[in-house]
């Protein structure tokens, strides 16, 4: 899965596409003015290459979806939420290395 194949979530589809899934969904909250967000997208693209089939990676443009930011307490970019069965099982802020993200995903997938 390349980064241009990431699912795109927003206020309108988040509940149906993320919270209703049983499998793990990695949600990348980003902003158009965030330079580290671009770095994280590259790392997520690398992580996605080795991803189990039941894991979905998607993005939320925080500039366009402030209600989701407030709902999940996202205060900075980039922020990753790891959601499984409708519950947040992990949260990471900032840019992590590929190995760190793979470990978090493996723990919860």
Catalytic residues: 34, 37
Give the integer Cα–Cα distance in Å for 3 and 11. 21
Where do we find the tokens 């995903």?
Answer: 105
List of E strands, 6-106: 7-9, 24-30, 56-61, 79-84, 87-93
């Amino acid at each position: 899965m390349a980064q241009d194949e990431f699912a795109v979530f927003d206020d309108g589809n988040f509940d149906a596409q993320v919270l209703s899934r049983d499998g793990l969904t990695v949600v990348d909250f980003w902003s158009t003015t965030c330079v580290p967000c671009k770095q994280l997208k590259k790392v997520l693209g690398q992580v996605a290459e080795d991803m189990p089939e039941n894991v979905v990676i998607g993005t939320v443009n925080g500039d366009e979806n402030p209600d989701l930011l407030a709902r999940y307490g996202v205060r900075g970019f980039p922020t990753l939420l790891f959601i499984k069965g409708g519950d947040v099982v992990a949260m990471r802020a900032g840019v992590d290395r590929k190995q760190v993200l793979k470990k978090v995903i493996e723990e919860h997938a």
